[in-house]
Amino acid sequence: MTRESYRGVVRRRAAAVAAAGIAGVLLPLAVTGTAGAASFRKADDGASIASYKWLNKSRTAFDFTVNSPALGAKRNVRVLLPKGWKFGSGKAWPVVYAYHGGNDNYLSWTRSTDIQSIASKWGVIVVMPEGANGSYTNWFNYGKGGKPRWEDFHMKEVRQLVERNYHAGASRAVMGISSGAQGACTYAGRFPGAFKYAACFSGVLSMSLPGVPSLLMYTNTRPGTDPYAIWGYPRIDQANWDAHDPVKLLSSVRGTRFYVSAGNGEPGPYDKPGTAPWDIGYLSEKAINPTVQDFVNQARRLHIPITAHMYGPGRHSWPYWKREMHFAWPQMMQAIGAKPVR
């Protein structure tokens, strides 16, 4: 290599380093892509970590990509790490799994809340997997089953990968918003003992109340998606609906404390002035509210510990869910044994 070409390489590398500094947390800062991924342990069904990238210099946040047999695709997961976390450590940390709503993705919690700031004050791992519009279930597909199997992706593949490779422990909590809230409360019933705490904000928690099946079919109707492939036809395939209905799964819950909340679909303190009464955020919350109340009533009949915050005015939107996260967080940390960071 000539002196001039060597200088050119140095200049190009310096420019790349400068660009990375300008990009800040949006660029990986160490091992990225497939490098090093082959050494990670797989899930029981063969799901593997295809790649990962650090998101900040302090290495407290990273994304990884799962090669998922359950979905037949690669899907992403965002992870927040506590102070003192190390790859080579034998310590297992308490973990919070955070699920997003429909028409969103795994970036939503860090985009729409201050979860990274609040989590940094605690010795806890936060795992935010992709949920797409999968409704947090293994799709019925007219009784044939098969892909996509979102429940398997979340409860088997992602859980096993973070426990086997990133020191996530067995002291778990789960929280979610909207369809992610429905998923969080469903998983707590379908996997008894898996979670010590479940926080469910504005989710459909009683799927068979009058009008609710139609609401779910409507919200899952979009180009390329057959809504009846998810749980089947209401009433005709009622057994499958019941097997995924949070309120009907409460009798199976073991050792889980709940925090649930919802507004009433009336104009609230975080809404833009002049928002139309027929705004979808108002209509959605108005329909969801009675399903949450039904869940609360059933939990209390079964003597399951539950905190309910039916906060009145408010629409189906992130400002309310961010507030609810702050309300639920201390209880959640106590339930899983997470300690404040000094």
Tell me: do 214 and 296 sit in the same domain. yes
Residue 12 half-sphere exposure toward CB, CA atoms < 13 A: 6
Tokens at 166, concatenated: 């990133």
For the stretch 229-269, pLDDT in tens is: 999 999 999 999 999 999 999 999 999 999 999 999 999 99
Torsion of CA 167, 170, 174, 180, to 10 degrees: 80
* Predicted pLDDT of residue 308: 98
Assigned domain for 299 exists: yes
Assigned domain for 102 exists: yes
Tell me: do 152 and 20 sit in the same domain. no
* Predicted pLDDT of residue 89: 84
Instruction: Give the whole-angstrom CA distance, residue 131 versus residue 153.
Output: 9
Give the DSSP H/E element, type plus range, for residue 312. strand 306-312
Local structure of 97: helix, strand or coil = strand
Give the DSSP H/E element, type plus range, for residue 23. helix 3-23
- Closest by Cα among 107, 163, 175 to 136: 175
Q: Which residue reads 């398997």 in tokens?
A: 152
Distances (CA, A) of 175 to 48, 82, 199: 24, 18, 4
Tell me: do 7 and 104 sit in the same domain. no
Tell me: do 2 and 107 sit in the same domain. no
Tell me: do 14 and 150 sit in the same domain. no
- CB atoms near residue 206 (< 10 Å): 23
Task: Decide: 69 and 82 in contact? Cβ < 8 Å.
Answer: no
Assigned domain for 342 exists: no
* Predicted pLDDT of residue 223: 80
Tokens at 195, concatenated: 């979670």
Tell me: do 8 and 118 sit in the same domain. no
Task: Decide: 191 and 204 in contact? Cβ < 8 Å.
Answer: no
Task: Decide: 179 and 136 in contact? Cβ < 8 Å.
Answer: yes
Helix intervals (H) in 232-279? 238-242
Q: Is the pTM of this model over 0.85?
A: yes
* Predicted pLDDT of residue 20: 36
Domains in the chain, number: 2
Q: Which residues of the chain have pLDDT under 50?
A: 1-31, 35
Tell me: do 4 and 60 sit in the same domain. no
Assigned domain for 181 exists: yes
Assigned domain for 6 exists: yes
Task: Decide: 63 and 53 in contact? Cβ < 8 Å.
Answer: yes
Assigned domain for 180 exists: yes
Tell me: do 311 and 164 sit in the same domain. yes
Local structure of 261: helix, strand or coil = strand
Q: Which residue reads 């947390």 in tokens?
A: 25
- Closest by Cα among 173, 174, 171, 123 to 339: 123
Instruction: Give the whole-angstrom CA distance, residue 46 versus residue 165.
Output: 14
Instruction: Give the whole-angstrom CA distance, residue 289 versus residue 263.
Output: 6
Tell me: do 20 and 36 sit in the same domain. no
Assigned domain for 292 exists: yes
Tell me: do 118 and 267 sit in the same domain. yes
307: CATH:
3.40.50.1820
Assigned domain for 341 exists: no
The residues with which 67 forms a beta bridge, in sequence order, are 48, 74
Q: For the chain, what is the largest distance between any 2 Cα atoms, rounded to a whole number of angstroms?
A: 81
Tell me: do 11 and 41 sit in the same domain. no
- CB atoms near residue 95 (< 10 Å): 26
Instruction: Give the whole-angstrom CA distance, residue 178 versus residue 174.
Output: 13
Instruction: Give the whole-angstrom CA distance, residue 337 versus residue 332.
Output: 9
Q: Which residue reads 């935010």 in tokens?
A: 128
For the stretch 127-184, pLDDT in tens is: 999 999 999 999 999 999 999 999 999 999 999 999 999 999 999 999 999 999 999 9
Tell me: do 298 and 192 sit in the same domain. yes
* Structural domain range at position 13: 1-28
Angle at 230 between CA 185 and CA 263, to 5 degrees: 40
Instruction: Give the whole-angstrom CA distance, residue 48 versus residue 313.
Output: 44
Q: List all residues 6 or more positions away from 337 whose beta carbon is below 8 Å from its beta carbon.
A: 94, 171
